[in-house]
Every structure is written in structure tokens, then in C-alpha cells.
Amino acid sequence: MSQAVHKEKEVTLLDLLDRILTKGVILCGDITISVADVDLIYLGLKVLLASVDTAERMRKADTGQSRAF
Amino acid sequence: MDTETLRRLLRFVNANGSVTDTCTALANEAKAEALVEAKARLKEMFVQAILHKVLETPPDPSGIASPPVSPPALEDVTQAPPASLQEASVSAGPTIVPESPAAVAATVESSGSSVPPAETVAADSTAADTSMAEPLATSPASDDTSTAEPDPSVPPAEASVDDQQQLFQEMEAIRRQIAENEARLRNVQAAPSRAEETPEPLAGAIAADDAATAGADDSHPTEEDAAEVGDAYYVYGLLPADIALPTGAETIAGIDPAHAVIGLSYRDIQAAVSRAPLNEFGEEELAERFKDLTWVEDKVRRHQQVLETLMRYGPLVPLRFCTLYRSSERVQTLLADNYAYWVELLRTFRGKQEWGVKAYLVEETLAARVGEVSQQIQQLKEQIAQRSAGAAYFAKKQLEEAVAKEIERLSDEYAQDSHNRLTACAVEARLNSLQSSELSGNDARMLLNGAYLVDEAQWSIYRTELDALEAQYGPLGLTYALTGPWPPYNFIPALEEQDAHEPGCS
């Protein structure tokens, strides 16, 4: 049987974070992640993606393959 | 029977007196179970304690008038520091103490011991009791009445030599019985009454690099943990205790690659943990690390890798990223608290995995096909064709709006249908909030972000359904992405009275 839907080869960091940071059993360990920490990590991801995105656009613009955004 | 046992016995009693309130507050189902075991052990300790005294202190010819000599251990022990809350919580409902001496007397009686020795026992236990804790002091009186047949006034000194010999034989028999019981108790992993000895019951599968320190655990539990200021225990998840985690060359590398994942067992469950250096995973240190997304990604992936490996062995309850405890005792507390909840979760998750399905919409594709799919749009198009040029302009405007609306409606409908049909093949399903294009890095709009708990037996049905969806909606602009198998992150039911709900624990 051919499978039309393929499993994602590389699980995205976002998928991982969505589960690992906010799901699962959340216990009050001696040391745990705070809400602020979670926000911080998501913010970091946003910044990273934005910078990747920017770099990507600049690269495309340089090679003349830029599409209109 | 050694002084150490006596000391433990006394610690139980002391702890019982000082933290009764806490004990009452902590009484729950899991602890009730623990209590039964603790009681059984306590009874044996009493028997041992009394036997010890009987055998070591030969009957005094001068009778009970002379005060029994306390073994040095007793004085020593009465000054033992109060037991910690933790051991108290497992050792002690207030009910234990009144019961035990009676039980002891009963044991001695049922062994068929003759009268004067029983008397000796009662007298000695009185002495021991008063030196230990108040609640005990009252009980021996009732023992006297329960052993009523003999005249209480008969002093033990009158016991015949035969009687004494018989007694010693019986004592020996009981002693052997106790030794057997103790051996059996040792086999019962993590007997609650031994919480004070901590790491011994915790010593599950110990990886090579942890073997040395784990050995040290056995001798000096608290000191060891206090001394281990450099490390905390990072907990990945919980799994059944009968799963042997790999050791030697096969060990699973932990969040800190230098330390392997080991199991810390409590009764039927174990926590998969590894040591994590506090200079990296301490509270303040972590807050700093979280600013470094490279570090976060590395650790998040390591966390996930450990869980993925553990999943292959059996059911697994995943814990959130970066849940750390300062000692193995604290990990055991985590297991003991809500023990029934953990067991039930593991039972639920047996043979099931979580799968993630995300559906994206390429709007252009659907927009191009919307005329075929939607009758409303078809009608509008026909109307435009029949109208004059002027009227057609407004009709076109109207069409554009209608198309946009139809795309919204249809994509909702497709997403809902996808979710319903996948849910039908799953044990449970959850809808998660959609990831924004900004965060997902995917230009296509996310329509569905579902998590499905799928039984292994139903997996092929589920997979077939997903392919059927792709076949049906793919040409209309939908694409599906499957992730998994995941540990059942999305299917953890809320735990009442859980620490995490306390204010201040975010």
C-alpha cells in the first residue's frame, strides 16, 4: 500500500516545544520551568525564525529569485 | 535483632508523636496501602524488640520489682532526631501505635508461651514503651487482662527451669520466623516503612557510571544526597518497574550526555532519571540557558530522544522538559505521592501511542477549485455570464467575496471532517491551537493541529483513514503532515491536589 501522507522526517523544533514545554505531566519539581521561561523560549524561537526568514529573503534577493512578499 | 532495628523502631514512634497532624493530612489511598505494610513491619519490630530484651535479660530472681535494664541502644535512641516528614508519612497513622503492643502480645501468646514469660514480656514492653513514647505506655495494662488466665501477681521469678527452656525454644522458633519475614520484606521493593533508608529500594537499574555513588547511597542516604550538591536528578518520565533499562554499552545517554538514564523504582513503577549538574541545571543557571535557543534545542531533542527510546520498552508517562529534583528521596516522594494515579495512567497508555496530524491549506489550489466544489459559486458564475458588462462588474466583486467566504467555510469543513474521521480510529483525540505561519515557518495556513492516541491494534486503520483524507482533500489544496509516535504528551488527565496547581509553582 502506498502511503500518501508521509511522516515528517525531521520533527520541527516548534512541534517539540509545543509538546515538551506545555504538555506532559507538569510537576512542581525542585527545579522547573516557569511560565516566563516558556515565553522566553518561544520568543527565542520567533527571533530565530525571523532572522532565518530575513536571511533567506536576502539570499533570494541577491540571486534575483526573490518573489514578491 | 540489633540496635539499628531498635533505633528505627523508636524513630517511628517518635515521628508518630510529633507529626500526627501532618500524617492525617497526608492520608490518602496510596498511603493507606503503605500503612498496611508499615504496620506489618512495625509489629515484627515490636516482637523483635521484646524478644531481644527477653533473651538478653534473664529473669531476675528478685522479681519485677527491680527495674529492667535498658540496653545501651535505648538511651542512645531516645535522643535520636525526630524523623523527617517523609518517613513519618509512610510510617505512621496514629493508629499504628495503640495497635502494635497488643499485636505483639497476641503473637507471643499464640506461640503458646507459658504464663510467666508472657508476664515478662508485658513487663519488659512496659519498660521499653515508657522509655520510647507515651502512647505505648497505656497498652500493656490491657495485655495483662488479655493474658488473664495466669495470676498477674505471680512474679516471673517463679517460672520453672522447664518453662524457661521451653520458652527459649519457642523464642528461637519465632526468631527464625522473623528472620524469614525480614528476608521476605527485603524482597518487597521499597517497603514504605523503609523510606528512611531511602536509596536502597531506589536502586533499580544502575548504570555503570552511577554505580559507585549508588553504592554510597546505601550506607549514608541523607549525607550522600546532601553531599551531592553538584547534581540534581532530571526526571524524564515514569514507566512500569518491571522494565529493565539498558545498562553497559547500551545505556541511554541523558540530558547531560555524561550521565546515563537509570531507573529509580518505587513498588510497581519507576522514574527514568539521570544526574544533571546543577551548574547547568540549577534554577538560575537554567533561566540563563533558556535565552540560548541553541542550548534549548539541543536539550529538548535529547529529552525527546530519551523518551522515544523509553517508549520502545512499554507504556510511558512523559514529564515536562526540565523537571528536576535535588535528591533520589525527592524522586521517590514523587512516585509515592499519587501512586495510584501513576499506575492508572500507565495502565491506560499500555499499547497506545500519540500521533500528531497537522493539515495545511494551499489557498490558491482551493480557490481554483472552488467553482467546481461549491454550488453557490457555480450559480454566481452563471449569473455573471448572463449579465451585461456593467452588472457583471458588481457581480464579480460579489463573486470574489463569495469565493473568500466559501474558502473559509470549506476549509473549516474539511478540517472538521478530517479530525472526526481520525478521531473515529483513535482512543482519544485532542485539538491543539494552530501554529502561526510565523512560528511554523510554513507559508501554507494551518487548518488542523490534532493529537490522537491510537491503539497499536488500530494503527493500520488509522493510517488508511489518513491516506483516504489525503486522497480526497489533497486535490482541493490540503496537505497533511504526520508526526509520531510520541509519548502521550497530550493525554495526561488533570491530577487533583497536584503540586503543580499550588500557587507559586508555575
- Enter the ipTM: 0.79
| Helical axes B29-56 vs B115-132, angle rounded to 10° | 120
Backbone phi and psi for residue B262, each to the nearest 5 degrees, phi listed first = -125, 165
Nearest chain A Cα to B468, which residue?
Answer: A4
Of A7, A35, A46, the CB nearest to B439: A46
* CA angle at B371 for the pair B399 and B358, rounded to the nearest 5°: 105
**Cβ contacts of B69 within 8 Å, gap of 6 or more:** B57
Which range (A31-40, B119-128, B368-377) has the least confidence?
Answer: B119-128
- What's residue A51's pLDDT? 74
H/E element holding B157? none
Whole-angstrom distance, CA of residue B152 vs CA of residue B336:
46
Residue B356 forms beta bridges with which residues?
B451, B483
Interface contact A46-B438, CB threshold 8 A: yes
Interface contact B467-A3, CB threshold 8 A: yes
Whole-angstrom distance, CA of residue B76 vs CA of residue B72:
6
- What's residue B190's pLDDT? 40
State the residue for C-alpha cell 539521570: B274
Tell me the pLDDT band of B380, cut-offs 50, 70 and 90: confident
Count how many residues are written for chain B: 506
Contacts of B418 in chain A (CB under 8 A): none
Q: Reply yes or no on whether the pLDDT at A60 is more than 80.
A: no
C-alpha distance from residue B352 to each of B315, B403, B428, B487 (Å): 8, 42, 10, 9
Closest CA to A43 of B438, B300, B283, B431: B438
Nearest chain A Cα to B430, which residue?
Answer: A23
- What's residue B366's pLDDT? 92
- Residue B93 vs residue B424, higher pLDDT: B424
Whole-angstrom distance, CA of residue B447 vs CA of residue B358:
7
Q: Reply yes or no on whether the pLDDT at B246 is more than 80.
A: yes
Q: Reply yes or no on whether the pLDDT at B91 is more than 90.
A: no
H/E element holding B483? strand B478-486
- What's residue B436's pLDDT? 86
CB B252 within 8 A of CB B245: yes
- What's residue B502's pLDDT? 38
Whole-angstrom distance, CA of residue B100 vs CA of residue B42:
7
Question: For residue A45, what are the domain limits?
Answer: 31-64
The x, y and z cell numbers of residue B238, run together, are 515514569
Which range (A20-34, B119-133, B182-196, B464-478) has the least confidence?
Answer: B119-133
Contacts of B432 in chain A (CB under 8 A): 18
Q: Is B226 on the interface with A (CB under 8 A)?
A: no
Q: Mutation test of the interface with chain B: which of A20, A34, A60, A67, choosing the one with the most B Cβ atoms within 10 A?
A: A20
CB B48 within 8 A of CB B5: yes
Tell me the pLDDT band of B58, cut-offs 50, 70 and 90: low
Whole-angstrom distance, CA of residue B469 vs CA of residue B359:
10
Tell me the pLDDT band of A3, cut-offs 50, 70 and 90: low
- Residue B52 vs residue A12, higher pLDDT: A12
Give residue-wise pLDDT tens across range B301-310. 999 999 999 9
In a domain, A24, yes or no: no
Interface contact A31-B432, CB threshold 8 A: no
Of A18, A27, A31, the CB nearest to B281: A31
Which range (A36-45, B57-66, B160-169, B346-355) has the least confidence?
Answer: B57-66
Q: Reply yes or no on whether the pLDDT at B297 is more than 70.
A: yes
Which range (B67-81, B183-197, B223-237, B316-330) has the least confidence?
Answer: B67-81
DSSP secondary structure string for all residues of B205-271: S--HHHHHHHHHHHH-HHHHHHH-TTEEEEEEEEEETTSPPP-GGGPPB-SSTTSB-EEEEETTEEE
What is the distance in angstroms between the Cα of B320 and the nearest Cα belonging to chain A? Answer: 5
Count how many residues are written for chain A: 69
Which range (B152-161, B322-331, B411-420, B469-478) has the least confidence?
Answer: B152-161
Q: Reply yes or no on whether the pLDDT at A55 is more than 60.
A: yes
Contacts of B474 in chain A (CB under 8 A): 4
* Other CB atoms within 10 A of residue B313 CB: 15
- Give percent of chain B with pLDDT exceeding 90: 40
- What's residue B289's pLDDT? 92
Tell me the one-letter amino acid at B107. Answer: T
**Cβ contacts of B460 within 8 Å, gap of 6 or more:** none
What are the sequence ranges of the domains in chain B? 3-193, 198-350, 353-491
- Residue B373 vs residue B411, higher pLDDT: B411
Q: What is the CA radius of gyration of chain B?
A: 34
Q: Reply yes or no on whether the pLDDT at B344 is more than 90.
A: yes
Q: Reply yes or no on whether the pLDDT at B178 is more than 50.
A: yes
Distance from the Cα of residue A6 to its chain's centroid: 20
Size of interface A-B (CB pairs under 8 A): 152
Q: What is the mean pLDDT of residues B334-359?
A: 95
What torsion do the CA atoms of B360, A24, B499, B435 make, to the nearest 10 degrees?
Answer: -20
Interface contact B441-A14, CB threshold 8 A: yes
Mean pLDDT rounded to a whole number for chain B: 72
Q: Reply yes or no on whether the pLDDT at B418 is more than 90.
A: yes
Contacts of A24 in chain B (CB under 8 A): 237, 318-321, 487, 489, 492
In a domain, A7, yes or no: no
- Residue B178 vs residue B415, higher pLDDT: B415
Contacts of A67 in chain B (CB under 8 A): none
Which range (A54-58, B141-145, B173-177) has the least confidence?
Answer: B141-145
Q: Is B470 on the interface with A (CB under 8 A)?
A: yes
**Cβ contacts of B94 within 8 Å, gap of 6 or more:** B16, B20, B23, B24, B135
Q: Looking at residue B71, what DSSP letter applies?
A: P
* CA angle at B15 for the pair B10 and B17, rounded to the nearest 5°: 100
Contacts of A11 in chain B (CB under 8 A): 304, 483
Give residue-wise pLDDT tens across range B464-477. 999 999 999 999 99
Q: Reply yes or no on whether the pLDDT at B389 is more than 90.
A: no
Interface contact B318-A53, CB threshold 8 A: no
Contacts of B499 in chain A (CB under 8 A): 27-28
Nearest chain B Cα to A41, which residue?
Answer: B290
Q: Reply yes or no on whether the pLDDT at B242 is more than 90.
A: yes
CB B482 within 8 A of CB B359: no
Whole-angstrom distance, CA of residue B158 vs CA of residue B365:
105
**Surface of B (398-457) touching A: CB under 8 A:** 432, 435, 438-441
Contacts of B232 in chain A (CB under 8 A): 30-31
Considering the segment(s) B353-491 as one domain, its CATH architecture is 2-Layer Sandwich (3.30)
Of A13, A21, A49, the CB nearest to B297: A13
**Cβ contacts of B227 within 8 Å, gap of 6 or more:** none
C-alpha distance from residue B39 to each of B32, B127, B171 (Å): 10, 21, 22
- What's residue B411's pLDDT? 94
CB B119 within 8 A of CB B150: yes
- What's residue B73's pLDDT? 42
Strand (E) positions, B372-459?
428-431, 445-455
* Count of domains for chain A: 1
What is the distance in angstroms between the Cα of B375 and the nearest Cα belonging to chain A? Answer: 29
Whole-angstrom distance, CA of residue B180 vs CA of residue B186:
10
State the residue for C-alpha cell 497536584: B498
- What's residue B353's pLDDT? 95
- What's residue B144's pLDDT? 43
Nearest chain A Cα to B288, which residue?
Answer: A37
- Where does residue B149 rank: exposed (0-12), middle (13-18), buried (19+ CB within 10 A)? exposed
Of B296, B441, B481, the CB nearest to A8: B481
